[in-house]
Amino acid sequence: MPHNRWHMVRTFGLKKHFIEAKTKKVVKAVDGVSFTAVPGKIFGLLGVNGAGKTTVLRMLSTVIKPTEGGAEVNGFDVLKDPQKVRASIGFMSTSTALYGRLTAREVIEYFGGLYGLEGQRLKERVAYVTEKLQLQEFSDRLCDKLSTGQKQRVSIARTILYDPPVLFFDEPTAGLDVVSSQTVMEFIEECRVNGKTVIFSTHIMSEVERLCDHVAVIHDGIIRAEGSVADLKAQAGEASLEKSFLKLVEFKSEYAVAK
């Protein structure tokens, strides 16, 4: 299928099945996910823990291969051109840690080098992200000595250093305080303004309401519903996103309420 330049991220029938080591049972982590993300918009993947959000993002970033189906990022096939896919993306999550024995500046320069930035261009980009994220006061400090918020700013700097057209955020505010979360969300909003294609995975409803232009509700590896936040509420016939989500994933309380 020819690449539509507006379809920066496209998945078609994406599946990932694992075989559980102990029981040898097949676990369908992702079971036929199809969606499209476009530049200047934030695409949300909303689901509970274990719904398959991270597995989708890991397949899109070529860390793992799909069992079936496929995906394209920036026009490159995740199976045929994994290096080109990786050169097109920035990935950030609270689990993508930094090297504790390198300084913030060294981490940023290291990743800049791995993305092919060299010489004057590398210096300029490092200066830009340092200024942009106010890293000056701790850029020469070892990452092990940084606060969680400072680490998160360094992670953002690492993600945007080489100016990728596609950005994946996998629960980027998990474990962060309200101030650090605010910085991350402002950064994601700016990505949209700058015309980036953003895929944002979360289970926090308020973040979805604030950031996402288009949302896919994923549960048990399957997309249960898709559309804007208003569309989801309409589909579920609920006033709040939280209740809509619970209805769409057919939530059944495990807590026995006394009658």
Among 106, 189, 213, 220, binds another protein (CB under 8 A): 106
> Binding string to another protein for residues 40 to 79, with x set by CB under 8 A, is what?
------------------x--xxxxx--------------
Report the residue number, 80 or 210, with the smaller CB distance to another protein. Answer: 80
**Span from 2-10, 105-113, 133-141, 230-238 in contact with another protein (CB under 8 A):** 105-113
Report the residue number, 74 or 244, with the smaller CB distance to another protein. Answer: 74
Q: Which residues contact 128 (CB under 8 A, 6 or more apart)?
A: none
Task: Please state, in angstroms and rounded to a whole number, the distance separating the CA atoms of residues 163 and 167.
Answer: 10
Q: What is the DSSP string of the chain?
A: -PPPTT-SEEEEEEEEEEE-TTT--EEEEEEEEEEEE-TT-EEEEE--TTSSHHHHHHHHTTSS--SEEEEEETTEETTT-HHHHHHHEEEEETTS---TTSBHHHHHHHHHHHTT--HHHHHHHHHHHHHHTT-GGGTTSBGGGS-HHHHHHHHHHHHHTT--SEEEEESTTTT--HHHHHHHHHHHHHHHHTT-EEEEEES-HHHHHHH-SEEEEEETTEEEEEE-HHHHHHHHT-SSHHHHHHHHTT----S----
**Span from 3-11, 110-118, 177-185, 223-231 in contact with another protein (CB under 8 A):** 110-118
Q: How far is CA 192 from CA 37, 40, 58, 188, in A?
A: 12, 5, 22, 7
Report the residue number, 107 or 135, with the smaller CB distance to another protein. Answer: 107
Binding residues for another protein, how many (CB under 8 A)? 30
Task: Please state, in angstroms and rounded to a whole number, the distance separating the CA atoms of residues 135 and 133.
Answer: 6
Residue 197 burial (CB count, 10 A): 27
Q: For residues 113-132, which are near another protein according to CB under 8 A?
A: 113-116, 118
Report in angstroms how near the CB of residue 7 gets to another protein at its nearest. 21
Among 13, 68, 99, 131, binds another protein (CB under 8 A): 99
Q: For residues 146-165, which are near another protein according to CB under 8 A?
A: 158
Among 38, 48, 79, 87, binds another protein (CB under 8 A): 87
Report the residue number, 91 or 187, with the smaller CB distance to another protein. Answer: 91
Among 4, 95, 147, 206, binds another protein (CB under 8 A): 95
Report the residue number, 111 or 200, with the smaller CB distance to another protein. Answer: 111
> Binding string to another protein for residues 199 to 238, with x set by CB under 8 A, is what?
----------------------------------------
Report in angstroms how near the CB of residue 122 gets to another protein at its nearest. 10
The footprint of another protein (CB under 8 A) covers: 58, 61-65, 83-84, 86-87, 89, 91, 95-102, 106, 110-111, 113-116, 118, 142, 158
